[in-house]
Amino acid sequence: MFNQDLIHIIPILFLIATGLLLMMLDAFKVRSVLPLIAGIGFVGTAVLALPLQEGMDVQQLAFNKMIFTGGLASLVTILLSVSGLFTLFFLSDFLKRQEKPIYDIYALLVFAVVGMILLANANDLIVTFIGLETMSICLYIMAALFKRDLKSNEAGLKYFLLGAFATGFFIYGIALIYGGAGSTNYSSMDFARLQESGLLLPGMGLILIGFLFKVSAFPFHAWTPDVYSGSPTPLAGFMATGSKAAAFIAFGIFLNKTLPDVVVNEKIYNVIGVIALLTMIYGNVVAVQQKSLKRMLAYSSIAHSGYVLLALCAGPEGLMAAVFYMFIYTLMNIGAFGMIGMAELKDQDADLDGWKGLGMRNPWFGAAMSIFLFSLAGIPPLAGFMSKYFVFISAIHAKYTLLAILGIITSVAGAFYYIRVIVSMFFQTTEKPVEVKTSNIYPTIGVGILAALLLLFGLYPAAFTSQLDHLFVLADYFTQATP
């Protein structure tokens, strides 16, 4: 029984072992191999999560029904490992150019991904909480990584204080749900009792606040721009993708596990739908006014949270759309943040002014950045279009037609600020231009792979989505998992 459980979580165990090894190598000053080892760790985790073994392609529960393994859980594990892996491509070069010799970050990155995997694969609110905290504590340290830099300090402190506060809401919500349902496990919650007790709405509301904070949805978004612009740029990309993906998937599982059995679900979905709409409008409108590229992308990530929240209103089909969206979003946003980091000088903020004419001076750089930005704007034939399509179609299937139409309109308005960067890069000039001077080849390789993947998934989405359908059908999250 124990051994079977351990076999199920081999990907997580492998990643934890990698993290411990990284800590030891750093302590004994064997530092040149750290990025390589971390990369092997992420690739190994993704490979181990592939459904190679018999029966691993079906969603199962392990450890007394506490965590999901196989099926969709494997897919999510791969998604999060990929987000860690591509961050790695940009990280070592960025730290070298900023003259900040920090080596603990590789172990931190690995442990953050461990927390994300636990968070996204949890079938128990306590495991969700442990995953959330493991992830968040690593992210707080990442935000404050440059400890002599005031902006980085500010980012870390703001993120930590607000995050700790949101965690308080979250754990109090868990306590109320536990009081009503008699269990923290989705498989053994007594929903009838929860409904009678009157603790359902307060508990649900508090847990919702915790999740909405983590995904930076509209009324709880205020930390996002400051934290992302103060954090080291590649790590800001990691925060915007990996941590949001994990939080969204945990959120989706929570909604799909608890709401079908309770009567008030219509109300809660409407609330989330309205929050999604406000998030989309706010993110897209405020992003237009930003001069700093990092702040612009931070507001754009708020807008993208709105799209995914809209998908989460659409039940199981929406969860699939959300997972697909987060996968594509991870690829394009890590690429965009990474490229901003590539053009960032020491002690200087990435400003739109400096980027004028960059595409003419460095055509390959301009072309790759244009791919990421067009994809973020959701312009076909890039993958960003496919992911938006799935989100809006799932919302329409769930009879949220009006929200979907308004969402599409905000998305069109949002295309403006992405395209403005492209226009600046190719059609304008400036006196103080920035230069791209990478210290090694890895960022270029990372950008190449990411841009190629976005083109591939945009041009031949069937190659990917048929596999995804296959996995999802086998996974059948909501029937298989409850024996």
Partner 1 sequence: MEEFGPIGEYLPLIILIIIAGAVAFLLTGASRVLGPLRPNKIKESAYESGMDPVGTAHERFSIKFYLVAMLFILFDIEIVFMYPWAVQYKELEAAYGSFPLVEMLVFVAILFVGYIYILKKGGLDWD
- Residues of this chain that interact with partner 1 (CB under 8 A) are 2, 20, 23-24, 26-28
Residue with tokens 């961050």: 87
Nearer to partner 1, 20 or 52 (CB): 20
Element (H, E) at 67: strand 67-69
Count Cβ atoms below 10 Å from residue 154 Cβ, excluding itself: 16
Nearer to partner 1, 26 or 349 (CB): 26
DSSP 8-state code for residue 186: G
Shortest separation between residue 88's beta carbon and partner 1, angstroms:
21
Q: How far is CA 382 from the centre of its chain?
A: 19
Shortest separation between residue 7's beta carbon and partner 1, angstroms:
14
Shortest separation between residue 20's beta carbon and partner 1, angstroms:
5
SS3 category, 175:
helix
Shortest separation between residue 38's beta carbon and partner 1, angstroms:
16
Q: How far is CA 239 from the centre of its chain?
A: 7
SS3 category, 335:
helix
Nearer to partner 1, 153 or 428 (CB): 153
DSSP 8-state code for residue 290: -
Shortest separation between residue 340's beta carbon and partner 1, angstroms:
31
Helix residue ranges, H only, 239-314:
244-258, 265-288, 293-312
Q: In whole angstroms, how far apart are CA 216 and each of 167, 245, 247, 278? A: 14, 12, 10, 12
Nearer to partner 1, 27 or 452 (CB): 27
Nearer to partner 1, 21 or 413 (CB): 21
Using an 8 Å Cβ cutoff, are 238 and 83 in contact?
yes
Shortest separation between residue 60's beta carbon and partner 1, angstroms:
21
Nearer to partner 1, 28 or 99 (CB): 28
DSSP 8-state code for residue 218: G
